[in-house]
Chain A
């Protein structure tokens, strides 16, 4: 079966002062209707660039889509015209951003901003759009929505603003909803509410959700399947349960052991950590990009780039996993 959204061998490069840097290197992932795909990784691994590429929001230049395809219902988004992309953006694919505090325009009321999204994609009057906006505010759980619609962003709390962002994003019942770390900036209690809301929205609208996060807790709560990214590549692709219970890649294993509640040895004195940092993208050499931080390296890891291949349970890009050393 063909997936609703399919990213295939996507390669995105940026012109920087170090020359052309590959930010995404043959990234592939897909998401089906009504499904939630988690994309996990440290900051700088390429999760956000993947999301922005899908939205057609990569600044070009310096960015460039150097290869691959992003297919929504079979239509390749890397090839469509600007105006077609504009009508898809906010209509069929919508996105919720990380920073609710700064993602809303400070000089317009939230009602206006939601109504604008509606009017950009549906032929409705301004009055109707404002009514719809109020209904959406109600839908995302904002009390007295008719009054709040007249508020400016600075009058709302962070959680409320993220609800407004969600209302705006789902205003045209998108087929794909990309949520880029939607709860990072919020309190823990608010985080849970936002996740509940996203689940409800998905149930009601049947949207596919791509949840970008570095938080394995969020993954366990939300995701059906998971793509783990590292240094611009997908290194493990599996169901959420598989990744959480039996991660194959040493990096994915490291990520899991960083979660206190999920760590198998409950008495461990301190949380596990992954030694080292993500190497700068312009300094990636040959071989596996995780080799400097990995305890299972051998000569092959230094010379040959591991491919994302199913060695048993699910696809993973690791020589150690392939050789059974993991």
Chain B
């Protein structure tokens, strides 16, 4: 990998993050009302004393540009502000919630890609077959179904009809003192329904996309070359074709990370999954702006990192891009 290219991308990612910080600042300024009240949270019933300390800390009596400088400076030092509702630093709150969200998002993404590509490849074997039709129908359904509603329907199904998966939270209270292995299994058990709910939409999309992509690749000259060598059908399909068909799938997966985070937000609130989504939801209900702004910043950061990783893996997967910068 080209080191200078990597540095360039990293720098650009940091610039995007800085953009989010500035945007956050602008939003607080543009919101109707006293920024100090906004920061304190309208539900907080903040005392005049508190407001004064906020004005002091954020330099709200100084010119706007100075305020921006102070705001950016605070964040660069890792200070995302103080949540008045939770009475904790925002960075600590988010730190506790970031792992569950990443676990949920990655499980859903991996499930969607693995299953979606599997069905898509199978369907591409028979472009007019039953599985192809099923992929088309299922992808239209997957696009149209509201993700939070899927979650609720699954809760109804699994809470009363087949009570085999927990429908709420991330850990069982009674297993709180068990060893780490048991607790991990418990988390995975809780993860099944939320991850499946979130993956359904993307699963359908990836199946459709990989089918189309495989059909395109299977018609290409180098597939004929592979067959002419005497390669078996499985080698042709999974080695020669899939490696090439994976490139557009990778692109889409990277582009969709933002929408995946949005979906995770809804799924988390439905299943009470203790991640950044529920945190965002709780803090919005309480108008706890420092927290919600922090979540927006960190969630954007996750998307930036995901895009960076996608970009890198794209370069590994496609040798034609390796030399460029």
Residue positions of A touching B, CB distance < 8 A: 55, 57, 86-91, 94-95, 97, 99, 102-109, 116-117, 120-121, 152, 154, 165, 168-169
Contacts and interface: CB of A to CB of B under 8 A. Distances in A.
B232 A97 contact: no
B227 to A, nearest CB: 6
A107 B243 contact: yes
B227 A102 contact: no
A95 B318 contact: no
Given A105-B244, A106-B320, A108-B243, 5 more contacts: A88-B230, A91-B230, A105-B225, A107-B317, A152-B319
B317 A55 contact: no
Interface residues of B, number: 19
Interface stretch (B71-79, B110-118, B216-224): B216-224
Q: Closest 9 CB pairs between A and B?
A: A90-B230, A90-B229, A152-B319, A102-B221, A105-B222, A89-B230, A103-B221, A117-B229, A86-B230
A89 B229 contact: yes
A171 to B, nearest CB: 9
Interface of B: 220-222, 224-232, 240, 243-244, 317-320
Contacts of A57: 224, 227-228
Contacts of A91: 230
22 contacts: A57-B224, A57-B227, A86-B232, A90-B231, A91-B230, A95-B228, A97-B224, A99-B221, A102-B220, A103-B222, A103-B224, A103-B225, A104-B222, A104-B225, A105-B240, A105-B243, A106-B222, A106-B320, A107-B319, A116-B231, A120-B230, A154-B320
A117 B229 CA distance: 6
A97 to B, nearest CB: 6
A97 B320 contact: no
A6 to B, nearest CB: 21
A81 B41 CA distance: 76
Nearest to B226: A105
A168 B229 contact: yes
Specify which of B228, B240, B318, B319 lies most central, judged by the most chain A CB atoms within 10 Å of its CB: B228
Contacts of A86: 230-232
Nearest to B243: A107
Contacts of B319: 106-107, 109, 152, 154
Contacts of B240: 105
A169 B318 CA distance: 25
Contacts of B232: 86
Contacts of A89: 227-230
B228 A87 contact: no
Contacts of A169: 228
B228 A106 contact: no
Nearest to B317: A107
Contacts of A152: 319-320
B218 to A, nearest CB: 10
Contacts of A107: 243-244, 317-319
A152 B322 CA distance: 11
